[in-house]
Amino acid sequence: MNGLQATNPKSSAGPRGSGLLVIISGPSGVGKSTICSRLCERLPAEFSVSYTTRPIRPNEVDGSSYRFVSQAEFDRLHASGGMLESAHVYGHSYGTPLEPVQQALADGRTIVLEIDIHGTVQVRRRYPAARTFFLLPPTPDEQRRRIEGRRTDAAQTIAERLKLADGEIRFANESGCYDRFIVNDDVDRSVTEIIESLRQEQAR
Ligand code: 5GP
């Protein structure tokens, strides 16, 4: 049981159990990871650790931010039905392990997924009651500053990700997949907005 369900114990966000599935998306450099970890602390909720074939960054811990796997291992997991969704993002494969999501929902817990738009479309098909949020950068300059401040991506990668951001925002708008668009100009304010939105929905 979490703080949200305490406000309305009968509410349900998935077809099985009474757990809540929350999706956070947004372009590179918008602050998704910080928002997700703060949101998980405040709700409280569990973070869904994705599989990825992307190389590990110096500040990352395998099993914490991602489970870093080879392409062969990713393909094997995917083929065995172990993923809720998967997508190819910025040249690498990413996917959400299915079992932790099913378990959280069945147990009545909240689980937070940080995934891209294509993944969100797939999850919504399976869990239409998933609550979805798309984060927007306050300004393109701020977004660039955040990506560059990470100092873990090559200059070419940074340029590619920034170029893709406009298209991602447009697609997110047109997809109709997102409940709410949030300008992330302040982490705590953005997290409060997400929590308030979840509460309002559950109170209905
Ligand atoms: P990064 O490599 O910067 O951590 O993430 C790159 C992109 O992949 C981000 O847009 C992030 O939301 C997305 N992503 C991370 N994990 C998953 C996942 O499991 N599934 C999907 N579809 N996208 C993911």
Residue 201: count of CB within 10 angstroms of its CB: 17
User: Buried (b) or exposed (e) across 81-104, using 16+ Cβ within 10 A?
Assistant: ebbbbbbebeeebbbbbbebbbeb
Q: Which domains does the chain have, with CATH numbers?
A: 3-48+109-203 (3.40.50.300)
pLDDT at 6: 37
pLDDT at site 188: 97
Alpha helices in the chain (DSSP H): 3-7, 32-42, 71-79, 98-107, 117-126, 140-150, 155-175, 187-203
Counting atoms of ligand 1 from 1, which one is nearest the CA of 118?
Answer: 22
pLDDT at site 4: 54
- The Å distance, Cα 116 to ligand 1 centre, comes to 5
> Which ligand 1 atom sits closest to the C-alpha of 66?
16
Burial group, residue 143, by CB count within 10 angstroms (0-12, 13-18, 19+):
buried
Going from the Cα of 89 to the center of ligand 1, the distance in angstroms, rounded, reads 7
Please, are residues 19 and 108 in contact by the beta-carbon 8 Å criterion?
yes
pLDDT value of position 148? 75
Do residues 45 and 105 make contact, with C-beta atoms less than 8 angstroms apart? no
pLDDT of residue 165: 85
pLDDT of residue 186: 95
- Neighbour-count burial of 30, counting CB atoms closer than 10 A to its CB (0-12 exposed, 13-18 middle, 19+ buried): buried
pLDDT of res. 12: 39
pLDDT given for residue 145 in this prediction: 78
What pLDDT shows up at residue 151?
Answer: 61
CA distance 188 to 145: 19
Enumerate residues lining ligand 1, CB below 6 A.
25, 28, 32, 50, 54, 85, 87, 89-90, 94-96, 114-116, 118-119
Q: How far is the CA of 18 from the centre of ligand 1 (A)?
A: 26
Q: Which atom of ligand 1 is nearest to the CA of 24?
A: 12
pLDDT score recorded for residue 3: 42
Within 8 A by CB and 6+ apart from 182, the residues are 133, 134, 135, 136, 190, 193, 194
Q: List average pLDDT for each run of 10 residues in the chain, which is 204 residues long.
A: 40 59 94 96 98 95 97 98 96 97 97 98 96 92 76 74 86 95 96 97 83
